[in-house]
Amino acid sequence: MGEISQEAVEKYLEDNPQFAKEYFAKRLPEAPGPSGALSPADEWALCAELLRAVQEEARGAEPAVHGALQKLAQLLQADRCSLFACRARNGTPEVASRLFDVTPTSRFEDNLVGPDREVVFPLEIGIVGWVAHTKKAVNVPDVHKNSHFSDFMDKQTGYVTKNLLATPIMTGKEVLAVVMAVNKVNASEFSKEDEEVFSKYLSFVSVILKLHHTQYLYSVESRRSQEFYDEWPIKLGEVEPYKGPKTPDGREVIFYKIIDYILHGKEEIKVIPTPPADHWTLVSGLPTYVAENGFICNMLNAPADEYFTFQKGPIDETGWVIKNVLSLPIVNKKEDIVGVATFYNRKDGKPFDEYDEHITETLTQFLGWSLLNTDTYDKMNKLENRKDIAQEMLMSQTKATPDEVKSILKIKEKLNIDVIEDCEEKQLVTILKEDLPDPKTVDLYEFRFSDFPITEHELIRCGLRLFFEINVVEKFKVPVEVLTRWMYTVRKGYRSITYHNWRHGFNVGQTMFTLLMTGRLKKYYTDLEAFAMLAAAFCHDIDHRGTNNLYQMKSTSPLAKLHGSSILERHHLEYSKTLLQDESLNIFQNLNKRQFETVIHLFEVAIIATDLALYFNCIFFRKRTMFQKIVDACEKMETEEEAVKYVTIDPTKKEVIMAMMMTACDLSAITKPWEVQSQASTVALLVANEFWEQGDLERTVLQQQPIPMMDRNKKDELPKLQVGFIDFVCTFVYKEFSRFHKEITPMLTGLQNNRVEWKSLADEYDAKMKVIEEETKKQEEGNMAAKATEDSGGGSDDKKSKTCLML
Ligand SMILES: [Zn+2]
């Protein structure tokens, strides 16, 4: 393509900070501001440094925040800086020291306050508490004149606080932490400029904290996304629904963890994760009973009880025997039962009494809060936190600029108007539509569509055309400016990598469109669903990094830490959802709440479905058989109406088909006619190249031998791998779709033709290898075994092959 990508520039600058510093120092005017302010060059270097720290830091937020506070102390010429975490215990908010007395040269280990040493304040005491309470920053020139000041800490440490700056770090409406800078050096107080510097650089601290706060919440969310896959077989009646015990509000009773406090002899705590059903506490049946009914059970002689089956003899080698038992449910703020606490054998040997019941009730309330962290459930519900994280920063770079929007929506040229807001929606629709490519001339309705003759910019127009073709723009009142900006932003969201780039994103969208229209699958879906499916298809690989999930996991990238499974797919999903949170990008802005929720749900199912790893595990296997069953059933039906009714009456069936459509779209490159575009082999090469690049990374960065598919030294085996891929992965998908709707047969035909081509290349290669093998044998027999042949022409020094393959 000739031009250097933005990414390449960024990478270069990051790798060469010295050069970057000098360059910016030369090019950008020095900031005039106060002594504490940075020049743009230093500012840039600081950004880069902090962001790198965030990405590389595996120990949690504190080390990165520590680095930021050190910089801050230096910038502000503050004697020291501290960070206080904000939290709630038993429903009461409080602040706790986390990083204390940070100076530009202090050591992290010395500043970090461990849980055992932390100083905790209620919000009523001290300026920090006041800031957390009011959620407003303060500049206090003289603490002794401030009514909120408490000298409690000074008395403890012997330090004398004179003046300070303090500001809350927010996520949404919640205060995560308070940062404080204490005692200006060489001046009697912090200035107005200091306040600005303070708030500016704290935005970094805020990003770091939010990022880690979000990671902390991730696991429950990933469980949630998995839910719809788990539910499908139940909804389709293939798996028995859960019939075991349920809590009074209808949740399944499953014990994930047993925490065993042993209070006899020496005190110790044993944690048993995923306890077996035959664990003695569970065998009795008591915890399940309590969870199911929410009752408090107090039993005098438990082993004699007929309803429960307590072990009569000693439980363990210490000879400990159960005598009396008190069991109560652990309840969270919303009164949901989240656990069961069971007390065995009162210490004095007497039975538990009413008074015990009362204290244990209080105790379990405490357990409900702290031990089981049930209040995190409430936090989990606040997943909108995700929106705020670093992605927001990223978004500002990728969002289409007004000029870019105008490169598609040509208001200047066509209407002689400069500002889009001055145009009427009707005018905009007209000028946009007349500029969009004709679907016929570019084959938009064809499975054989090829993006090769079309520029990346023109593909944005093609994408817009598809939305008009399915008639959703007018129907769902999508402002065309928003639609254009969204489409352009999606395009920019794709990085210029070898295969998973905008061209791939577009192709998947185009195939989704063709499956719906030409393949006539649209008849099972509403216009709204089709709209969501097309949009999701365009977004499905957005911000792909060219390395697959395995690499992300192996290299413990920040992304891997953020999401449990289907790492990249979850990232594509989050990214797509974040775009929609910006109203100027929200193409679904005129939908009602229920419609919008439908769209988001479809995005989730569709994008997660493109994780090919799911393809190989049991979830996909279930999806496969479910799809096959639907196709079987429809095949037997007399009329089309009957089949449509059979599918549309059941939302789960629609989802199964949609997930399968996503797979068919994602793999569609392999079905493109070999003869129509000899580039078909090039597409395979692009994919292969991206794999090989990852293989190189694995070899060099992770120092691991890549699998053959990703090993460029084994590139001659590509045809064989392709044949295998077609046979084991692709054939099923396209065969079943052709059986489902004969209109989709061109995809299967294309696939089968390509198989023939690849097979002949593979055979050719095999024949060649055979000759070489025989020759080698002969040579070896001729006592020439010294030279190994396998490494002859290989080598990974041809890394740059990537550039020549791009267009
Ligand atoms: Zn893809």
Dump the DSSP string for 635-693.
HT-SSHHHHHHHHHT-HHHHHHHHHHHHHHHHTGGGGS-TTT-TTHHHHHHHHHHHHHH
Burial class (CB in 10 A: 0-12, 13-18, 19+), 377: middle
Catalytic residue numbers? 500
CA of 567 to the centre of ligand 1 (A): 14
> With pLDDT > 70 as the criterion, what percentage of the chain qualifies?
66
CA of 247 to the centre of ligand 1 (A): 41
CA of 251 to the centre of ligand 1 (A): 36
Whole-number average pLDDT of the chain: 75
| pLDDT for residue 780 is more than 90 | no
pLDDT score, position 60? 61
Is the separation of the CB atoms in 532 and 603 below 8 Å? yes
Is the separation of the CB atoms in 118 and 96 below 8 Å? yes
| pLDDT for residue 582 is more than 60 | yes
Rounded mean pLDDT of 21-42?
51
CA of 70 to the centre of ligand 1 (A): 43
DSSP state letter for 185? T
Per-residue pLDDT reduced to its tens digit, 589-646: 999 999 999 999 999 989 988 875 544 444 455 667 889 999 999 999 999 999 999 9
Higher pLDDT, 448 or 390: 448
b/e sequence 86-121, b meaning 16+ C-beta within 10 Å = beeeeeeebbbbbbbbbbeebeeeebbbeeeeeeeb
Minimum mean pLDDT range among 488-502, 515-529, 683-697: 683-697
Please, which pLDDT band fits residue 273 given cuts at 50, 70 and 90? low
pLDDT score, position 39? 61
Please, which pLDDT band fits residue 233 given cuts at 50, 70 and 90? low
| pLDDT for residue 789 is more than 90 | no
Per-residue pLDDT reduced to its tens digit, 187-206: 899 998 888 888 777 776 77
Higher pLDDT, 96 or 505: 505
Minimum mean pLDDT range among 242-251, 310-319, 331-340: 331-340
Rounded mean pLDDT of 110-123?
77
Quote the CA–CA distance of 445 and 454 in Å, as a whole number: 15
Rg (Cα) of the chain, in Å, rounded? 32
Rounded mean pLDDT of 505-530?
97
Give how far the C-alpha of residue 357 lies from the chain's centroid of Cα atoms, to the nearest Å: 44
- Roughly how many angstroms between the first and final C-alpha of the chain, as a whole number? 7
Of 706, 702, 606, 704, residue with least CA distance to 661: 606
Is the separation of the CB atoms in 332 and 375 below 8 Å? yes
Please, which pLDDT band fits residue 386 given cuts at 50, 70 and 90? very low
CA of 547 to the centre of ligand 1 (A): 12
Tokens in use for 29? 């005017």
CA of 687 to the centre of ligand 1 (A): 11
Please, which pLDDT band fits residue 302 given cuts at 50, 70 and 90? confident
Please, which pLDDT band fits residue 269 given cuts at 50, 70 and 90? low
* Tokens 């396998």 sit on residue: 790
CA of 497 to the centre of ligand 1 (A): 13
| pLDDT for residue 259 is more than 90 | no
Rounded mean pLDDT of 680-695?
61
DSSP state letter for 712? G
Burial class (CB in 10 A: 0-12, 13-18, 19+), 719: buried
